[in-house]
Structure 1
Amino acid sequence: MTAMYTTPTTDTRSGTGGAGAAVLRAEARLFGRELGSLFWILLFPTILLLILGAIPDFREADPSLGGQRVVDLYASIAVLLAMIMAAILAMPAVIAGYREHGVLRRLRTTPVHPGALLAAQVGLHAAAVLVSVVLALGVARLAYGVLLPRSLAFYALCTVLATAATFAIGAVITASARSARAVQTVGTIVFFPTMFTAGVWLPVQSMGGWLHDVVVRTPLGAAAEALNDALVGRTPDGADLAVMMGWTAVLALVSVRAFRWE
């Protein structure tokens, strides 16, 4: 995809706003052609939720989970999985490819700063995550009777914080690897630990002892706890919110300092 990218040309009289809009339109067209990325971000989390919900035991209330069912927990896990797919696997490879092919360098000769391309990529992938969130929660409700978030304001807050933390992880991957191939390798390595801490293989609420204590200090583990709290109407633990904000701040600073335009 990156080899076919054409730097948008815009009349300089239109200013950076018009050039930025041109970049966004171009990126949106290219993003719409990435059917593989769209599948993994938009559809795969919901498909996984449907498959797991088909297991009879996962639809039975579990006293050890406070009366929740395993499928109830996976509603929020599916949300986190969409974030991981977008921020850690999809977006870093695109940006690294643009950098490797000199797109970011060439944008410096246009009315728009290369940062506009990065902002467009973040915005498009975040929008895809939002669609995936709505789809996963809607299907979970219709297929398995999973309650919609009882605390919508807190759920929205936790979703924003979790998205920021996950994209900060992706930003570090993008900044630290020198080539698109290296970004894909690092992203794949990071992918599996983040899947684990998000609870894809074992819900965080099912973990006990030291394992739970360690996982909830990671951004995805804290997000899994906070999202589930908001789903059932509880006020998310302030520690979980602080963990997500702290990781986001640190990782964002690291990515800004390490990022190279070419």
Structure 2
Amino acid sequence: MTTTATPAATASAPARPRASLALLRTEIRLFLREPAALFWVIISPTVLLAILGSIPSFREASPDIGGRRVVDLYVPVAVLFALIMSGLQAMPPVLSGYRERGILRRLSTTPVRPGALLGAQLVLHGAAALVSALLVLGVGRIAFGVELAGDLPGYVLALLLAVAGSLALGAAVCAVSRTQKMAQAVGSAVFFPSMFTAGVWLPVQQMPDTLRGIVEFTPLGAASQALDAAMGGHWPAWSALGILTLWTVLLTGAAVRWFRWE
């Protein structure tokens, strides 16, 4: 028995990439119209670095951290802060709001499938996090003389894995949150432990050995270890990269399993 494609199906197939691209452009415009999102995702990590870098003692070498400066440790922390804001605070409420208002369900009747909207959000917030990270690195170098990554390939790999992990964490938060308010509540509950393990209040490198050993098994703790090693000119430890990869796979699997379009 043979089947033939209907004209509607044939017409919709080539239309989907164009529709998906148009959807991505629309999501970018909506994102750029949100001053709060722009500030917290792109600007606030650099503001955090600038505030900490303005403390004179943070710009002085310390023998307790191998002759490095505290501001040097906070550049990777500010980068991770950007990923946390993008993955946990910005993306989940948007996706949950779309689902709550039935937008994802209505998209299933158009050439653009709901998955295209999810993909657009992942691309948008991943790109915003990377822009924020570049801004942090630039200000750290120009304003405070922080050395750029000594091992650039290792840094890029660690950064991309960290972005993937933070977005996977945000997708998992969205998957378990049925409403926009729930997404904000769950995201906030995950937000503060993530800030701690990223080293925002105390850099991972300055934590007591036992605590540091525990924190480095978390996705952001492993990311902090990997980024800091690459900044110092060393290839990130394979254990840190492996932990990051494992968390990304597990969180992505959880998000796929629990996510509902309506």
Q: Which whole-Å CA distance do the structure 2 matches of 1:171 and 1:203 have between them? A: 26
Structure with larger Rg: 2
Structure 1 residue aligned with 2:121:
121
Q: Does 1:213 align with 2:207?
A: no
User: SS in structure 2 opposite 1:78?
Assistant: helix
Structure 2 residue aligned with 1:177:
177
Equivalent pair of 2:13/2:111 in contact (CA under 8 Å): no
Q: Which whole-Å CA distance do the structure 2 matches of 1:212 and 1:70 have between them? A: 17
Q: Under a length normalisation based on structure 1, what TM-score does the superposition of the two structures give?
A: 0.94
Structure 1 residue aligned with 2:45:
45
In structure 1, what residue type is equivalent to 2:142?
L
After TM superposition, give the deviation of residue 106 of structure 1 in Å.
Answer: 0.3
Structure 1 residue aligned with 2:149:
149
Structure 2 residue aligned with 1:233:
233
Distance 1:13 1:88, change over 3 A: closer
- Post-superposition Cα deviations, 1:91-133, rounded to whole Å, max 9, x if no partner, equal 0000000000000000000012111111111111111111111
Structure 1 residue aligned with 2:203:
203
User: SS in structure 2 opposite 1:134?
Assistant: helix
After TM superposition, give the deviation of residue 13 of structure 1 in Å.
Answer: 6.9
User: SS in structure 2 opposite 1:83?
Assistant: helix
Q: Does 1:26 align with 2:26?
A: yes
Structure 1 moving runs of 4+ over 4 Å: none
- Post-superposition Cα deviations, 1:110-168, rounded to whole Å, max 9, x if no partner, equal 01211111111111111111111111011011111000111111110000011111111
- 1:24-173 paired onto structure 2 within 5 Å: 24-173=24-173
In structure 2, what residue type is equivalent to 1:218?
T
Structure 1: segments with no counterpart, 5+ residues: 1-10
Structure 2: segments with no counterpart, 5+ residues: 1-10
After TM superposition, give the deviation of residue 12 of structure 1 in Å.
Answer: 3.6
Q: Under a length normalisation based on structure 2, what TM-score does the superposition of the two structures give?
A: 0.94
In structure 1, what residue type is equivalent to 2:140?
A
For this pair of structures, how many residues does the alignment match?
252
Q: Which whole-Å CA distance do the structure 2 matches of 1:257 and 1:34 have between them? A: 30
In structure 1, what residue type is equivalent to 2:133?
V
